[in-house]
Amino acid sequence: MTAVIATVRIGILLAALCCLTPSHVRGYVSEAGQEVLMKMVYDLQKDIIDDKKKLAHLDMVTQELQEENKMLKEKLKDFHKREEKPVEGLNKTLIRYRRQIQNSPGAGGATYVRWGRTVCPSGAEKVYNGVVGSSWYDHNGGGATYLCLPHDPQWGTVTEGYQSKSYMYGVEFEMYNNDPFLKTNVDRKITSLQDHTAVCAVCRIPTRTSQVMIPAKMDCPASWTKEYGGYLMSSHHTHKKSDFVCVDNAPEVNDGGVGNQNGGLWYNVEAACGSLPCPSYGDGKELTCVVCTK
């Protein structure tokens, strides 16, 4: 804009000078005035040249900025492309840390009762062990579930004698002639588990969060881990109803707990054809079971 104004001013000035004859100039402008006018023209021409140089420099800077802007846009596109992979990597890292937290002590996990054993499988933490308890086998009332009672109970306020009419008894094996269990974890003199007191252990798997007992199976589904396997046991069909529990294939027994003292009674569960589909299930066959975690 400065160059344009200067050019206009020079044009006007030159036009004015051209229209004046020497006599006019001498008549209207002194020699000193003429020198001033010529100096003004010279200064204006110099300003125009300077402004043109500045405009050329600005054009060059503008081109450089445009090129730099283009490069920045390309870098931004490349950054967005590369940003996706680090985000995926970060998500995987977060998942790994979350699993480490879940698997750390005290951070959850799956728990189950290993019926018939006082120890837990490899990789499992033993919470406690004890003896199996339940209501009396032919009482109509009381609890219907089996409990794993610790060896060392802690007492609160107690009143001697029976007042509440709800009782807890130990559980004995009732085997008759069908004893499918291994005897590798009992005294080698024991040939039958009949009338022996059942034991148990509460186990925790810190690296897994789900557990299931599957009846009539000896193996776990794919991607599940087998904790232990054994045989399904419950109360007699003429006694009070109870849980079905999976008793370890090679059970232990409570020391000194042998004798026909009754209490809760465990019987092998046998398949009965009819509504239960056979020949998949054989009439009178002892049902197996497995405990699995994931």
* More confidently predicted of 187 and 81: 187
Q: What percent of the chain has pLDDT over 70?
A: 80
CA angle 269, 260, 243 (to 5 degrees): 30
Q: What is the pTM of this model?
A: 0.65
pLDDT-derived band at 22 (thresholds 50, 70, 90) equals very low
Mean of pLDDT values over 130-159 = 95
Q: For strand 169-174 and strand 264-268, is the pairing parallel, antiparallel, or unpaired? A: parallel
23: pLDDT strictly greater than 80: no
39: pLDDT strictly greater than 70: yes
Say if residue 37 is exposed, middle or buried (CB neighbours under 10 Å; 0-12, 13-18, 19+): middle
* More confidently predicted of 48 and 288: 288
pLDDT given for residue 18 in this prediction: 47
The CB-side HSE value for 91 (13 A sphere, CA atoms) comes to 5
pLDDT-derived band at 60 (thresholds 50, 70, 90) equals confident
Distance of CA 111 to the CA centre of its chain: 18
Give the list of residues 6+ apart from residue 9 with CB closer than 8 angstroms, or none: 44
pLDDT given for residue 280 in this prediction: 94
pLDDT given for residue 89 in this prediction: 61
CA distance 192 to 173: 9
Helix (H, G, I), strand (E, B) or coil at 212: strand
CA angle 203, 235, 249 (to 5 degrees): 45
